[in-house]
């Protein structure tokens, strides 16, 4: 079994923001299965999340249940949902994939990796805290190497929260659409051929 968690914030206010890129990728991946497997997102109060279950059938291996999750706990408490589901289904941390935006990667870049620190990402910090380990997989989706601050067109400095909670600008949207597609394909390849293959294919060099 795999647990795939897209990070983001619930509600229409945050739907199109940079911080919700994890939600966007998981939703894109799910669309390919919604009709074929007659499944849908369910608001599951047990797990404080929207969840969907699919069955992945690799060509050369046994079928595997995959739980897709969009926590409704807000970004800074994302780990609660991940820990509730992983505890219930007894999913080890090594079979948990976290899909999230990454301000330290340039726009449109993607890096799949196992373990490591949070790099200041509050959602990842929460997952590490609640799971009690950093040994889980991350799909890091680049939203722009901005570090601590970003500069608006009028020269006014704003903090990181303003950046990640802002919507993608028109010039960024083409790269983001492609990144969402690549992220969804990377999930599929990871399930089909393993994450080493997905890293070799999709990690931005």
Q: Residue 131 — left, alpha, or beta (φ > 0 → left; ψ -120 to 50 → alpha)?
A: alpha
- DSSP helix/strand/coil, 143: coil
3-state secondary structure of 166: coil
Q: What tokens were used for 58?
A: 């690799």
The residues near 79 (Cβ < 8 Å, ≥ 6 apart) are 123, 125, 126, 127, 128, 129, 130, 131
- Which position among 19, 60, 100, 121 bears the catalytic label? 19
Q: For this structure, is 19 an active site residue?
A: yes
CA–CA gap between residue 35 and residue 31 (Å, rounded): 8
CB 10 within 8 A of CB 92: no
| Alpha-carbon torsion, ordered 166, 11, 190, 61, to 10 deg | -170
CA–CA–CA angle 39, 114, 132 (5° rounding): 85
Known catalytic residues? 19
């Amino acid at each position: 079994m795999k647990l795939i968690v897209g990070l983001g914030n619930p509600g229409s206010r945050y739907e199109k923001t940079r911080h919700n890129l994890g939600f966007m990728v998981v939703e894109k991946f799910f669309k390919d299965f919604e009709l074929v497997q007659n499944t849908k997102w369910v608001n599951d109060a047990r797990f404080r999340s929207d969840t969907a279950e699919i069955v992945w059938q690799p060509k050369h291996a046994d079928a595997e249940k995959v739980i897709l999750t969009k926590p409704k706990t807000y970004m800074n408490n994302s780990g609660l949902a991940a820990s509730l589901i992983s505890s219930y289904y007894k999913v080890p941390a090594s079979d948990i994939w976290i899909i999230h935006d990454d301000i330290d990667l340039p726009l449109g870049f993607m890096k799949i990796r196992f373990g490591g620190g949070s790099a200041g990402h509050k959602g990842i910090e929460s997952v590490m805290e609640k799971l009690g380990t950093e040994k889980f997989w991350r799909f890091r989706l680049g939203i722009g190497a901005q570090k601590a601050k970003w500069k608006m067109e009028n020269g006014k400095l704003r903090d990181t929260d303003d950046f990640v909670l802002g919507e993608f600008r028109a010039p960024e949207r083409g790269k983001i659409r492609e990144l969402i597609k690549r992220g969804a394909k990377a999930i599929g390849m990871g399930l089909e051929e393993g994450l080493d293959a997905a890293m070799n294919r999709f990690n931005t060099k």
